[in-house]
Amino acid sequence: MDYRRIAKELLNEHPQTIAVALARLPAEHASEIMKLLPSFIQTDLVNRIVQADQLPSMVLEEIDRLLNRLLR
């Protein structure tokens, strides 16, 4: 998996989208990607990840499509 490419692509997304995307990945992948993101956003993402399960299913489905596109 090309963690650098995924991290770079995710930076084009809203922080909430990044957080949900990371929350939906296996922990080992999410942590590798998180390490590559700028430190100023990492704390914000951790806070958002904690709240990620409160999003509507339609939003989660769209983020799943984003993840599938990035992982191809």
The one-digit pLDDT tens for each residue of the chain (72 residues) are: 899 999 999 999 999 899 989 988 999 999 999 999 999 899 999 888 877 667 788 888 888 898 888 877
- Tell me what pLDDT residue 4 has: 96
- Yes or no: say if 3 and 68 are a contact pair by the CB < 8 Å rule: no
Cα-based distances in Å from 42 to 61, 65, 72: 23, 23, 24
pTM: 0.74
CB 15 within 8 A of CB 23: no
